[in-house]
Amino acid sequence: MEQKTILTQKLEYVKGILAIAEKYDHAVNVLSYDQETICPIESMEEQGEVWAFLNNQSYKLIKEPAFIEAAEYLFEHREELEEFDRVMAEQLHRNYLQSKNVTPELQHEFMLTFNRAFVNWSKAREASDYSLFAASLKEVADVNRRMIELRGADASGKTAYDTLLDDYERGMTSEVLDEVFGACKERLIPLLEKIQKSSKEIRTDFLSRRVEDEQQARMAKWLLAQMGFNFDRGAITTSEHPFTAGMGRNDIRVTTHYYPDQFLSSMYSVIHEGGHALFDQNQPQKNYDHFIIGGKTLGMHESVSRFYENRIGRSEAFVHFVYPKVCEIFPQVMADVSEREFYEALNVVMPSLIRTEADEFTYTFHIIIRYEIEKALFAGEIKVEDIPAMWNRKYKEYLGIEPTSDRNGVLQDVHWTSGFGYFPTYAIGNFYNAMYYNRMKQEVDVDAAIREGNFAPVNSWMVGHVFAKADRLSPQEWIRDITGREFTPVDFLDYLEAKYSRIYEL
């Protein structure tokens, strides 16, 4: 009886501290969102200092000896807790091992480093000059290495880079990625060569016709509404790099970017970010009540966003549904374009420099390139100064094209400003969603529903099978729970091969 009383006291204390930390985290998220949307560039560093300060206040709370003692007590007695509290205790223990030797002072120093990197990346990208960012990128890599060294024997991977991979996708290693990316290269490189030699001509001239921002904004809101995005619990605006920000249970915000001569860019970034938003808007309330909302991995999240963007958004069924609306909102673009021409243009295979604009087929190569650069950097095979040359060389090797500037090359992505190990999750997400799409088809007539613009049966299946347990299971357990199978890239590769062989009449 006494044991349960102590356990209950510890549980209440931990949840009380987490509730306070959550308020700081909410403010941090709002500031971060503001910085990437409307914050003036000259104010970014100052605002980043406020962001780092508030982030540090939250961090200090979980570094208090009393909190650590209580949280570790819960972990030691986790089998006596109900499921959601047990998951919370396990998450707190993982977080403790990652940061137990990182003092609040060090944490604040690290956050300032990441903020400076973001500011310098923004300036370097604007000037298309990697040299303005290189020093900051080295600092970021050094911080990552230092954080791993501070974990000592508790580091989760065999190598520093494996530890970074595990931070974003628990259980993932470079050994696994070498194998799956090797399979991708083995099957996709020959297929790309066949596609490029195909006599099939796909019309794309209309994709660069001018579209006003107001038209694109109308389309963005319509697309989110069709997907099931709840505007009473979410919002949309613009940013340089589209993203989704979860402020809290009832505040999920997405952003996009409008290019006057690339209307598809906004359409598909909205569908992608809308997928992230649906994942967040459809989380069980109990996940918030038990502070486990951060349990899902980035691979899980990217699987959902890319499921809606590609498996749904680039399907013939979706094109049939959306085509009349695209004609209505973009009449100057679509006046002489048939539904079939629109579908084929959405799926044209055209090696390009910008990852976020890449076609579904070549996208995987963009991720492999970043993975191979990161791995080489942390293995000591290259230095930060060598990254642009390696980047350009690999684009030539895999896609047959070379960047014409740092802006459309090494400076195009913001992710390295906050650390390494993130990029593989995009490809991992594609592998996951190919697996659960095949499982979904056994229970839902996906094409029939989407042709009618009826997302309800698809969303319902996703809520019940993909969303519900994502915060409570490891990635390996999660994909096995959904599909009954072990993680594999084969479903995704089979899908690409079948789809693009049809389109290109191979």
- Tell me the two tokens of residue 218: 């109308």
Active site residue 273: yes
Torsion of CA 379, 382, 383, 388, to 10 degrees: -130
- One DSSP character per residue, 139-173 reads HHHHHHHHHHHHHGGG-SSSSHHHHHHHHHSTT--
User: Among candidates 417, 423, 374, which has minimal Cα distance to 111?
Assistant: 417
- Rounded Cα distance, 317 and 18, in Å: 45
Phi, psi of 361 (to 5 degrees): -75, -50
Q: Is residue 96 exposed (0-12), middle (13-18) or buried (19+ Cβ within 10 Å)?
A: middle
Q: Is residue 348 exposed (0-12), middle (13-18) or buried (19+ Cβ within 10 Å)?
A: middle
Report the run of H or E that residue 254 belongs to, with start and end.
Answer: strand 251-256
Chain CA centroid to CA 435, Å: 18
DSSP annotation of 209: S
Q: Could you say which of 273, 309, 344, 374 is catalytic? A: 273
Order across the sheet with 244-248: list the strands.
234-238, 251-256, 244-248
CB 240 within 8 A of CB 228: no
* Active-site residue list: 273
